[in-house]
């Protein structure tokens, strides 16, 4: 990995984080329910795009940092965009608020939908290959 790769990862990560923040803010302006919809949508769309681009870029999961494009887009932008830690925090807050059932559903649905989105993204990319 070169200093230029590191720069692209940093710039991409910043862009992805800003995108995550903006989408979260937009969802928060329109949705006020208990389910953490913003984090859910961000993670599911991120899983789809990461899988889709990984197939299009021909990325081997063991070497996804191999080029500036892979590192900058997959690790940088999409790594900054998706947020596993926020998903865990959302679930913990729900559980602390006495909504353990919703926290459990949220984690199960988030994981299942993320996996389904990734499979669909990969499948779609394979169709275009």
Task: Give the residue ranges of the annotated binding site for Na(+).
Answer: 79, 82
Phi, psi of 120 (to 5 degrees): -65, -40
- The kind and range of the H/E element at 34 are none
Phi, psi of 58 (to 5 degrees): 65, 40
Tell whether the torsion through CA atoms of 42, 92, 118 and 78 is positive or negative. positive
- Tokens 């910043």, located at residue: 14
The Cα 10–Cα 101 span in angstroms is 38
Q: Dig out the tokens for 28 from the structure.
A: 């928060």
CA dihedral 73, 51, 124, 68 (to 10 degrees): 30
């Amino acid at each position: 990995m070169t200093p230029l790769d590191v720069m692209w990862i940093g710039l991409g990560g910043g862009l992805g984080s800003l995108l995550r923040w903006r989408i979260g803010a937009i969802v928060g302006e329109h949705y006020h329910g208990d389910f953490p919809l913003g984090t859910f949508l961000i993670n599911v769309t991120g899983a789809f795009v990461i899988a889709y681009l990984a197939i299009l870029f021909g990325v081997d999961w063991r070497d996804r940092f191999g080029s500036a494009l892979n590192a900058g887009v997959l690790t940088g932008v999409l790594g900054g965009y998706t947020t596993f830690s926020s998903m865990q925090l959302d679930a913990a807050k729900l559980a602390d608020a006495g909504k353990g059932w919703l926290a459990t559903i949220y984690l199960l649905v988030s994981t299942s939908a993320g996996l389904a989105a990734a499979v669909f993204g990969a499948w779609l990319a394979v169709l275009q290959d």
